[in-house]
Chain A
Amino acid sequence: MIGGLFIYNHKGEVLISRVYRDDIGRNAVDAFRVNVIHARQQVRSPVTNIARTSFFHVKRSNIWLAAVTKQNVNAAMVFEFLYKMCDVMTAYFGKISEENIKNNFVLIYELLDEILDFGYPQNSETGALKTFITQQGIKSQHHTKEEQSQITSQVTGQIGWRREGIKYRRNELFLDVLESVNLLMSPQGQVLSAHVSGRVVMKSYLSGMPECKFGMNDKIVIDKQGKGGTTDDSGKSELGGSGKQSIAIDDCTFHQCVRLSKFDSERSISFIPPDGDYELMRYRTTKDIILPFRVIPLVREVGRTKLEVKVVIKSNFKPSLLAQKIEVRIPTPLNTSGVQVICMKGKAKYKASENAIVWKIKRMAGMKESQISAEIELLPTNDKKKWARPPISMNFEVPFAPSGLKVRYLKVFESKLNYSDHDVIKWVRYIGRSGIYETRC
């Protein structure tokens, strides 16, 4: 179980320190600072063991969050908690920064008291928390004594993430499929590794205690239905290139509101949604990924003092769709003394501080191609080491899911109140982003 939780700024000064168990002393705070934040070598592992004490840390911009324990805890649980903690803080005061943390000092201690009890994680659902932890901007919507007396029973009840008696004039529901696609490609265009990690994020404004059912083109479900003879004609998608019907999900995790027993038996996702923002599920796929861009590098060394680089990018999706925020990063050798860049589209610039040429294109339609060529001048050095040629990386955003995931339905049932599935306004959006999208050159 978590023994304590510390928040540091970039210099390693302690902003928040909350110790839950006696086995964690004050010196643990310094141990982490000395061994991780101020370490000579950059510490990459998120888990560090110092003197039989484990430190789990995550970093948000310049802020370090570290959970400490002396026991053998489930590391995944600790990280899940830390991420939740970040979500909760973001929901309360926006961006996690040193200033915000200093300004919300009391609030954070209050939250820490609530979401961790003797090191055991408690309810960390923002919606529920906001009902009884109120600070500054967040005003409690209900002031009556009866409602306040309900808080205890609701928070400790079976459906801790949603309170009763919510009413909206307009029942609305937003669903985002957010995916990030990761790729490593050889110079010859061979895929060395690729996977997509995706999230289904929802925002619901629904009255009462609705029961929802979410359906997607999961291969197992589709195959089962296909055997049963029901054909789903909505299989034709307007998404990029592939006309495939279903996708194979490697693994997935759900929000606590999802009934896992039903998923295990019928593979159907049914749940009573929390109010407001939440992440319904996370998943990962590795098969049949649509790679939105292809990068073709060409590097030629001309003598010891010159390097010629040509990079072509090709968009590989429906011409009707537009990719956005495209950025190609071409690393330059460490002894670069000057760069000349020519590109047809977008803007390219040599950024010395990052040792790279950064090429930015605002928008690009599918099935197009564009190219950049650069001449790099080098300064002869006494160092005989050859340049390691780091891979060319790329960033972009496309309006479809590169995994091929598709929402088939999202049904809402509320038996007690008088609105039906058709009355709910539903919004669905797909966003595909680049994760680590690299091509060797």
Chain B
Amino acid sequence: MPAVSKGDGMRGLAVFISDIRNCKSKEAEIKRINKELANIRSKFKGDKALDGYSKKKYVCKLLFIFLLGHDIDFGHMEAVNLLSSNKYTEKQIGYLFISVLVNSNSELIRLINNAIKNDLSSRNPTFMCLALHCIANVGSREMAEAFAGEIPRILVAGDTMDSVKQSAALCLLRLYKTSPDLVLMGEWTSRVVHLLNDQHMGVVTAAISLITCLSQKNPDEFKTCVSLAVSRLSRIVSSASTDLQDYTYYFVPAPWLSCKLLRLLQCYPPPEDGAVKGRLVECLETILNKAQEPPKSKKVQHSNAKNAILFEAISLIIHYDSEPNLLVRACNQLGQFLQHRETNLRYLALESMCTLASSEFSHEAVKTHIETVINALKTERDVSVRQRAADLLYAMCDRSNAKQIVAEMLSYLETADYSIREEMVLKVAILAEKYAVDYSWYVDTILNLIRIAGDYVSEEVWYRVIQIVINRDDVQGYAAKTVFEALQAPACHENMVKVGGYILGEFGNLIAGDPRSSPLVQFNLLHSKFHLCSVPTRALLLSAYIKFINLFPETKSTIQEVLRSDSQIRNSDVELQQRAVEYLKLSSIASTDVLATVLEEMPPFPERESSILAKLKKKKGPGAVSVNELEEGKREGGELNGGGERGGDGSAIAASNASTPSPSADLLGLRTGPPVTAAAPSAGSLLVDVFSEAGVNDDGFLRDLEPPTESSDSLLAEGPGDSDSAPPSVVSEDPATPLPESNELLNKFVCKNNGVLFENQLLQIGIKSEYRQNLGRMYLFYGNKTSVQFVTFTTTVTCPGELQSQLNVQSKTVEPLIEGGAQVQQVINIECLTDFTDAPLLNIKFRYGGALQNLTLKLPVTINKFFQPTEMASHDFFQRWKQLSQPQQEAQKIFKANNAMDTEVLKAKLLGLGMALLENVDPNPENFVCAGVIQTKAQQVGSLLRLEPNAQAQSGEQMYRLTVRSSKDTVSKRLCELLAEQF
């Protein structure tokens, strides 16, 4: 027979391939291929049936032509025919052709599936393997549909050959990856897990890949694999290098299997069973011990295999984070690697150490390597290694070594790679702030930073310096002195000028006593930099100048001269021109008192997440430095800076008591009602004018920094709407019943904290509130809109009914007398004891021209004010969502949209609600999901929210579906009610 005599050589194919290789040009190759294709076509077309050998040969040629990049549009049928051959080589070529060429939507798929099915049910292991490989290679959904049920059976059947089991496990893994919904393990789970006990190492290796993948999706079902994996691991680790024969790689027993086992264990928490855990710890210790042994071979493969296991073990140790002993040993091991001559090892060691540094057990151990790491930062030739070294330094920093690390990083910064400079700057800035015990050190460091790497200092860094200097009285003098000195350098960076301008403008008076830094010297110094700066900086400097006029009246004429010069007052830049004109007018018209009020020292900034930290997070993306570490840092930073925060609060209260409210708060009352201006006496109108002007300026001024309070523009936009809607008759005598529209007013404040609560022709009540944990503080501003004084002005806050036990409200008394056009402030402290639904009532009584006015409002205190936002990843969110699955925990509402569906507006509202708006969590990008924890004194109530807008609901109206789930049913219900009114 020809097939036998010709053997498997396929001479025709060899000749064809050598012909192609000998072609001198592309054209010649195409000619040769065309000829061959014509030949194959005539052979396939020919009436006499081809024998298996020729079929195989021609299909092979077609495959070769296809792989050369030519289209093949025939021969599929012949390839499918080959599948039913009994010869291995023919079947193999058939499967090969199909894996490479057949796409899933082909009509032939049914025939192919049939052939595969036959092979799978045959008892011939090689045929079964071929079929499994084909399924895995094609891996389409159709294949999964047809065979997903069959393969697990083959995998766990007792009589299946080892090689087939291996293929089946990997094939199943592939199908699971492409269409997880079709691969249902259910009944097979335990038997698959028991494959870990298989005699054959190959089967174990294949099965473990499958199990790792499956257990990531449903960890609980595969929990039993932990103990099996541990025992398997211990057997491998304790075996001598000769025990495993085929699976020993350069004297390392089964390195791949060990790595996979260790990785599987990383999917689970430490085993609870003491014996298992002991065994595992023993294994890990053995691995660490082995690393200390002298290498059995000088070959690089030996050390690679060994180190692979070691690093996998170390990441398991870090993952468990519960064995101090192991953590320290791992750290020491990594410390050795830090000085290894292999660059890759040093890189890996630095990277692993970063995670080790965040563990409380090994933090100290990591710190011992600080010198080595600093050395690495300075001497490594590869920038990626240096980057890791910088990361590690950042991670290992704490109060004890902060000064050293910051100093080292600063000195390195001068020579650092441009690609990592910005990140280094941010890190230095964060560390300096976080561990600053002595704030003069902090100021020095940051100013140094700006001096060394000014170009890489982002806006956030210098914003932060100013926030801190303003919030801390004790450094202001020092800061002013230092920036003054720094500015004396002939060339200083623009960021330095910005910081200098701002700080001298605020606190220049603190150093004015020294004749070397007299006001005029300060001004001249700043002004000498003016012309070298960009427009935003110049604008800032102009604001600093007007502040100078306030601080040092003796500089007034000089500064007015500067402002009056054509280069300012006729500047082509609108912003600069406006500032110059306004400041000039302000300085020449307003009395010193007015100036002092308008240009008062900036109020302390509210404590918030450090803007630099946010920037670093954004820059690094998730995963680079563990987010926990950053959170921890933030918390620590908050504690450390707590003193400053309290100081800030204190001064704010002091300001309000002195009844010289800060400009931004005052604007709230006075700027919103244009009719007032008309009715008000001349003194009042002047005040209003000045304020509005100052307000604009102030706005501009604040635009450079992040404004400490909500921008007054937005208040202006929201304010006036109410003044018309509130008729005077609402002033009722009955103190118990609130105004009819007070519910509506309440709803207005669900998503915002500041604004105008109430307004009629006599009175305007502005509100400003802040909440932290379960505590809240509310500032109420009562503005007298008339020219006549209010007498016996009293306010009382009551908690009706059961609210008394839910909310603790304390209010300070207010001045009983409000002059015409004046404004008084009241502070109300609120403590949330447990969750509540009603709102406390505010009763206001006063006499206006003899008539008693009495009105009752609801204070806008709603449960959502006590939210703490919680960031979480997508799977966390859905896991928690599922946990809150009891029917009473969920509240749902479907309602019509009151306003247009504007994504930005919706986002702003949800953010105002106080929950964290989670991006990229819901599969549908239209939907919004939020998470937060309500802090009450009694308990914490976790809540999740999902808002699904539907722009094209039936009847053309826009609808929303709001679902709230929280651990307490009343909370869900109340939140749902509150929110339903908002959209």
Contact = CB atoms under 8 A, between A and B. Distances in A.
Interface of A: 10, 42, 62, 334-338, 352-355, 377, 379-383
Given A10-B25, A62-B24, A383 B73 contact: yes
Contacts of B31: 353-354
Interface string B11-35: 0000000000000111000011011
Nearest to B38: A352
B34 A352 contact: yes
Contacts of A42: 26
A379 B24 contact: no
Interface stretch (B39-47, B220-228, B783-791, B883-891): B39-47
Given A335-B74, A352-B34, A10 B24 contact: yes
Contacts of A381: 73-74
A415 B34 CA distance: 64
Given A335-B41, A338-B45, A377-B45, A382 B35 contact: no
B117 interface: no
A355 B41 CA distance: 12
B282 to A, nearest CB: 58
Contacts of B73: 334-335, 381-383
A382 B24 contact: no
Contacts of B71: 383
Q: Per DSSP, are chain A's interface residues mostly helix, strand or loop, or mixed? A: loop
A353 B35 contact: yes
Nearest to A11: B24
A383 B37 CA distance: 15
B297 interface: no
B608 to A, nearest CB: 51
B76 interface: yes
B729 interface: no
B917 to A, nearest CB: 47
B106 interface: yes
Interface of B: 24-26, 31-32, 34-35, 37-39, 41-42, 44-45, 71, 73-74, 76, 106-107
The 10 closest A-B pairs by CB, nearest first: A352-B38, A337-B45, A383-B73, A353-B31, A353-B35, A337-B41, A381-B73, A352-B35, A381-B74, A379-B41
Contacts of A383: 71, 73
8 contacts: A62-B24, A334-B73, A335-B73, A337-B42, A352-B37, A377-B45, A379-B45, A383-B71
Contacts of B107: 382
B111 to A, nearest CB: 13
Given A379-B44, A379-B74, A354 B34 contact: yes
Nearest to A377: B45
Contacts of B39: 352
A255 B232 CA distance: 90
A10 B28 CA distance: 11
Contacts of A380: 74
B31 to A, nearest CB: 4
A382 B34 contact: no
A10 B34 CA distance: 21
A382 B106 contact: yes
Given A10-B24, A10-B25, A382 B38 contact: no
Contacts of A336: 38, 41
B32 A353 contact: yes
B34 A355 contact: yes
B515 to A, nearest CB: 63
Contacts of B45: 337-338, 377, 379
A377 B25 CA distance: 30
A381 B107 CA distance: 12
A377 B45 CA distance: 9
Given A352-B39, A355-B34, A382 B25 contact: no
Nearest to A385: B73
A354 B38 CA distance: 10
A356 B25 CA distance: 20
B116 to A, nearest CB: 20
A379 B72 CA distance: 13
Contacts of A353: 31-32, 34-35, 38
A382 B37 CA distance: 16
A215 to B, nearest CB: 44
B27 to A, nearest CB: 9
Contacts of A10: 24-25
A65 to B, nearest CB: 16
A332 to B, nearest CB: 9
B42 A338 contact: yes
Contacts of A382: 73-74, 76, 106-107
B281 to A, nearest CB: 57
A352 B35 CA distance: 5
Contacts of A379: 41, 44-45, 74
Contacts of A62: 24-25
A379 B34 CA distance: 15
A339 to B, nearest CB: 9
Nearest to A380: B74
A37 B410 CA distance: 53
A225 B296 CA distance: 105
Contacts of A377: 45
